[in-house]
Amino acid sequence: MSAVMEEPNAPARAAAPGRRARFNPKYLPLAATVSLFVAMGALGSVLYDGFFSAQVFLNLLIDNAFLIVVAVGMTFVILSGGIDLSVGSVIALTTMVSASLVEKHGWNPAAVIPLVLLMGTAFGCVMGVLIERFRLQPFIVTLAGMFLARGLCYLISIDSISITNEFYSSVSQLRIPLGADASLSISAVIALLVLLAAVFVAHCTPFGRTVYAIGGSEHSAMLMGLPVRSTLVGVYALSGFCSALAGVIFTFYMLSGYGLHAMGLELDAIAAVVIGGTLLTGGVGYVAGTLFGVLTLGIIQTLIAFDGSLSSWWTRIVVGALLFFFCLLQRFFTARAPRR
């Protein structure tokens, strides 16, 4: 009742002279990520000729399309307060199954791609059931999933399987012209469509709102009557689907299946999500922030490549420093957040 009575005064307070609208601290990590990306882009344009061009920016999307897709799934998992360490192994398993079925068994890609997407979704769903039904720690369950998926790769083949299928080769080489000598790959388009769909799901559907509620407080979400159990399973199923889709994109990118593909990619996905402003404790974050997290990782690699004198390991060093910074920023945010 009191909230209803106070609502009419809200515009008056907002319009009162001498009062300034305060910046909401929950946007601080996202604002820091976007600012960092813009600053790195500006630095690169000052230091290196040709850095500030449409194709250089589009290459960030092309080269990191699979990471964008897998990081979108990871965002939902972390928003719910969980973690998924199996995503890199699921990508590798997807490439191995795809390569084996297409090259060794002569399957049509139109049958292989839906099959591997279903496989990844089922893999994530099983992990979600184990986590929700038996109240197991997501870290342990997904760690087991990581070892299982990676081991299954070597049951198929211990060697790399090259893909010579015409469909995969055509998709790999296809570019969509955007004018001014700039183009975008099909994989990048798929990644952007997945991102837009994820933004809609996260902010405009009951599933997305439930994910945020679970990350804020699972117990409170249950008391509110929200479908906590099915949503937790759905989050890991979604992550499995995104991992498999990223595996399909990775197959287009590499034109091969190999058990060592995407080694450590789960850590890159987590880093992108954290740098993108999503709190590891869950309940706070934005899918759009994850995009900028991935682009930030990509622009670091691009700056090092343009320099030419630095080792590629400097990418890891800079990412590690950024993670420390954003962890401290998250700590600051949680300490300043109002307690209810």
Q: Partners of 175 in the beta sheet?
A: 185
- Residue 208 lies inside a defined structural domain of this protein: yes
Where residue 21 falls among pLDDT bands split at 50, 70, 90? low
- Residue 3 lies inside a defined structural domain of this protein: no
- Residue 20 lies inside a defined structural domain of this protein: no
Which domain range does residue 122 map to? 25-336
DSSP-derived secondary structure letter, 101: I
Where residue 20 falls among pLDDT bands split at 50, 70, 90? low
Where residue 313 falls among pLDDT bands split at 50, 70, 90? confident
- Residue 1 lies inside a defined structural domain of this protein: no
Residue 188 has a pLDDT of 96
Q: How far is CA 94 from the centre of its chain?
A: 17
Question: What is the C-alpha to C-alpha distance for residues 38 and 53, in angstroms, rounded to an integer?
Answer: 14
What is the tally of structural domains in the chain? 1
The CA angle 122-222-134, to the nearest 5 degrees, is 45
Q: Is 184 helix (H, G, I), strand (E, B) or coil?
A: strand
- Residue 102 lies inside a defined structural domain of this protein: yes
Q: Phi then psi for 162, rounded to 5 degrees?
A: -75, 145
Question: What is the C-alpha to C-alpha distance for residues 250 and 1, in angstroms, rounded to an integer?
Answer: 55
CATH number for the domain harbouring residue 129: 1.10.3470
pLDDT at 16 over 70: no
pLDDT at 2 over 90: no
Q: Is 3 helix (H, G, I), strand (E, B) or coil?
A: helix
User: Rounded to two decimals, what is the model's pTM?
Assistant: 0.90
pLDDT digit string (tens) for 284-305? 999 999 999 999 999 999 998 8
Question: What is the C-alpha to C-alpha distance for residues 87 and 66, in angstroms, rounded to an integer?
Answer: 11
Residue 316 has a pLDDT of 87
What H or E segment, with its residue span, contains residue 227?
A: none
- Residue 7 lies inside a defined structural domain of this protein: no
- Residue 9 lies inside a defined structural domain of this protein: no
In terms of C-beta density within 10 A (0-12 exposed, 13-18 middle, 19 or more buried), how is residue 177 classed? exposed
pLDDT digit string (tens) for 133-161? 999 999 999 999 999 999 999 999 999 99
- Residue 234 lies inside a defined structural domain of this protein: yes
Q: How far is CA 239 from the centre of its chain?
A: 9
Q: Which residues contact 196 (CB under 8 A, 6 or more apart)?
A: none
Where residue 23 falls among pLDDT bands split at 50, 70, 90? low
Nearest to 40 by CA among 302, 310, 329, 327: 302
End-to-end CA distance of the chain, in Å?
A: 18
Question: What is the C-alpha to C-alpha distance for residues 305 and 308, in angstroms, rounded to an integer?
Answer: 5
Question: What is the C-alpha to C-alpha distance for residues 98 and 116, in angstroms, rounded to an integer?
Answer: 7
pLDDT at 13 over 60: no
